[in-house]
Structure 1
């Protein structure tokens, strides 16, 4: 194995994330999410294990599709309650030197001018270890409570706004302040040279931003842009602007198709596909031996909440799963929704008569991500095979039991991966972009659309 995989912890600033009911496990520490000491301990653990970073998912809304109510989401802490993850970053960065941070912020209910300031601030405070995960927010609860809308905008409308949003943000980061705008000249009483700060003069369909950026250039200027979207519009946006893409394929064959498609799309936009890292979501249940890991997995399955899993899955799929009997195979359900669900799960196991209860069991551990269960050698073999057979760059590592599953991974799996040369043993460079693409690559590459604004700035200088 000559290719080092990139590894991020995938987490959520709340008591539970993707897994349903496992917050009840005796070793789960999700209830500590309100304590800064918990996140500081977590950051130190990840850096010591040479993780590239931690990626925080986030929601502007809540899951209310199941039974047309938020009740089952609340009962199982199905991504609610949830605190804002961005406030954790400075504290976690202060106790680490290399660990990076991906933060989710939506283009649906924020505005580019404010978001650009937020991420420039985080990039400064982390010495360039920040990334922005671009999401478009699909929940109707967010639309009602933030924007006063009856429901979320249509899919393509959300992406049209996102495209312009990213464009405006890049203009602010790349074409407003020259690198040497801050002079701190005591004799002339000039902190910033005004002639080196420029209006971006953006006037578009969704945003009007005529002025200057509020922040001086940060180490990366533009944070590393993350994106996750499986639709044709989402893939196109990722191929055009993303530098890291989170994928959630059900198996290696599907992942290879997604990676190949994304790389081909990137070339269509004139980008080098090697400038996009691809990270597959995966859940790993590990222990000292295969037998111990399997016993742990079976223990987790006993805790899975059917209602909690359905509360999550109903929102993800856009279908109220309460309309189906828990043990009725989908092949016996004569609705378009039932057929859609059947087709999705048949791709995983065509011989199985999938029922809602089967879906709950599958998605109850790690959401819809694949799950790997085993000791160090088995898990390392499987993770390496995912990389070698698909061309993916690495993984976004989800969990069933918060903190403990990641701790187990650092104890049992990381040493085996490092021994095989499949995971880093030290860090190179100091920024997130360098962590992903190599030392010295702290700024957007020349083939990224944001680099065009850098060239415009150079022309103004």
Structure 2
């Protein structure tokens, strides 16, 4: 009887090119360095730290717009630096890639405010420069403030945004996978052929949202298509995610509800012709750890003195599109249809939620599950979550930067390794291969396959080469 192989835990650090990301108010802690987010050394040091801890990736969030729903202004957003100011996350990647060899980079980009060609070119370029370590977290946006900032008349309907995302992605697939054959680059100095002209193909796209004709300017990168991350949990968002995503980011704090969410994702992936395990599922968490349980609890008490639950509510207000400042602390918040994050807003339909409930969830200014304890205790809790729910890994938020990641690496990682649940060395290969162990490219079962260019017959290529080199 063979022993069942235990699932290895995947781990991303979850961050943002800003001061306040998820756990708000902790920028005021004397040891916190997040105010240095605009210094390159802050990010290169973080990248080296995460690689030393064998993290799979750094998942970098981003938004377009500002959180202006709470109290109908941005006063608190500015005072507490609730993702404002925030800088472009793609600008960080090359520098961090230069000081690491294995760490992956999942970068959030809102497609609603991008043109497919310029975006596809930028990410193909990053895939080259990182040697196949780039991923894209696909978002469609949910802030009215972003629409005003960009100059649009208003936020598109939730489901219409996903229709646009579908076409955006299909056009990107054509660029990344359909324009250049794998062996188009010859680098043949003797015959003066850098690129074989017959192996590069024009893209023609006439769609509802986008039109494009021409040659993609970037030769095939190590992964061609970046690793695709998504977090859609509404019915339309989940349909999109299970069709395209390789990694899905979920929230939740009750194991049984998380398990049901995981089963739903995997079932829908199968219905779309994919394998259940084609998608790696990550749960957002916050960890406070110390050498003992008591030290960890003392650290939590210390952190709470600096955290801002109200800033967490302001962030949450924009997520659901409801000004929570209008309600008394013990008043049940009624469901209100909005165009914001549908899956978060749906909770008000099924649960009796008050501001006090939300504040208790936001004791560190963020709403992700909080795990507190010694390295051994935290490791056991993470393993339990993996085994009980079927998730594949975690997106770990920061609390006090950089010490929260340093603590996790020093105290939790060795405990996970000791239990055989976390790698002791990186595998070689691209980010996609490290995550899925199935090579650098998306599999044939993925929708991308219909957009791939097919090689010309060899005899035609040979005839052409003879002609141009004669």
TM-score range normalised by the length of the shorter chain:
over 0.9
Q: Distance in 2 between matches of 1:167 and 1:220?
A: 17
What's the counterpart of residue 300 of structure 1?
Answer: 303
Q: What TM-score does the superposition give when structure 2 sets the normalisation length?
A: 0.91
1:178 counterpart SS class: coil
Q: Distance in 2 between matches of 1:33 and 1:207?
A: 35
What's the counterpart of residue 286 of structure 1?
Answer: 289
Higher mean C-alpha deviation, range 234-243 or range 292-301: 292-301
Q: Specify which of 64, 70, 90 is matched with residue 68 of structure 2.
A: 64
1:226 counterpart SS class: strand
What's the counterpart of residue 267 of structure 2?
Answer: 264
Deviation, 1:303, is 2.1
Higher mean C-alpha deviation, range 302-311 or range 290-299: 302-311
Correspondence list, 1:240-279, <5 A: 240-279=243-282
Say whether the 8 Å CA contact 2:199–2:455 is kept in structure 1.
no
What's the counterpart of residue 461 of structure 2?
Answer: none
What's the counterpart of residue 455 of structure 2?
Answer: 458
Mark the runs of 5 or more structure 2 residues left unpaired by the alignment: 338-342, 459-470
Correspondence list, 1:208-247, <5 A: 208-247=211-250
Matched, 1:373 2:372: yes
Deviation, 1:418, is 0.8
Q: Are residues 85 and 166 of structure 1, via their aligned partners in 2, closer, same or farther at CA, if it must alter by over 3 Å? A: same
1:124-149 C-alpha deviation (Å, 9 max, x unpaired)? 00000010100001111111111x12
Q: Distance in 1 between matches of 2:388 and 2:263?
A: 12
Q: Distance in 2 between matches of 1:432 and 1:91?
A: 17
What's the counterpart of residue 447 of structure 2?
Answer: 449
Q: Are residues 384 and 288 of structure 1, via their aligned partners in 2, closer, same or farther at CA, if it must alter by over 3 Å? A: same
Matched, 1:159 2:158: no
Deviation, 1:106, is 1.1
2:71 counterpart SS class: helix
What's the counterpart of residue 33 of structure 1?
Answer: 37
2:135 counterpart SS class: strand
Say whether the 8 Å CA contact 2:286–2:370 is kept in structure 1.
yes
1:258 counterpart SS class: helix
Deviation, 1:342, is 11
1:386-431 C-alpha deviation (Å, 9 max, x unpaired)? 1101111100111222221111101110110011111111011221
1:322-369 C-alpha deviation (Å, 9 max, x unpaired)? 1112x2232xx6x4449x99983898xx8xx85314413412526221
Q: Distance in 2 between matches of 1:150 and 1:90?
A: 35
Deviation, 1:7, is 0.3
Higher mean C-alpha deviation, range 311-320 or range 189-198: 189-198
Between the two proteins, the alignment pairs up a number of residues equal to: 449
1:64-113 C-alpha deviation (Å, 9 max, x unpaired)? 11111111111111011101111111111111111110001111110111
Say whether the 8 Å CA contact 1:65–1:315 is kept in structure 2.
yes
Q: Distance in 2 between matches of 1:197 and 1:216?
A: 9
Q: Are residues 450 and 294 of structure 1, via their aligned partners in 2, closer, same or farther at CA, if it must alter by over 3 Å? A: same
Deviation, 1:122, is 0.6
Q: Distance in 2 between matches of 1:412 and 1:101?
A: 24
Q: Are residues 460 and 296 of structure 1, via their aligned partners in 2, closer, same or farther at CA, if it must alter by over 3 Å? A: farther
Deviation, 1:163, is 0.6
Q: Distance in 2 between matches of 1:118 and 1:399?
A: 28
Higher mean C-alpha deviation, range 410-419 or range 365-374: 365-374
Deviation, 1:180, is 1.4
What's the counterpart of residue 421 of structure 1?
Answer: 420
Matched, 1:79 2:76: no
Matched, 1:144 2:148: yes
What's the counterpart of residue 50 of structure 1?
Answer: 54
2:229 counterpart SS class: strand
Say whether the 8 Å CA contact 1:306–1:357 is kept in structure 2.
no
What's the counterpart of residue 90 of structure 1?
Answer: 94
Instruction: Point out 4+ residue stretches in structure 1 off by more than 6 angstroms.
Output: 340-343
Matched, 1:436 2:435: yes
Q: Distance in 1 between matches of 2:354 and 2:249?
A: 28
Q: Are residues 121 and 364 of structure 1, via their aligned partners in 2, closer, same or farther at CA, if it must alter by over 3 Å? A: farther
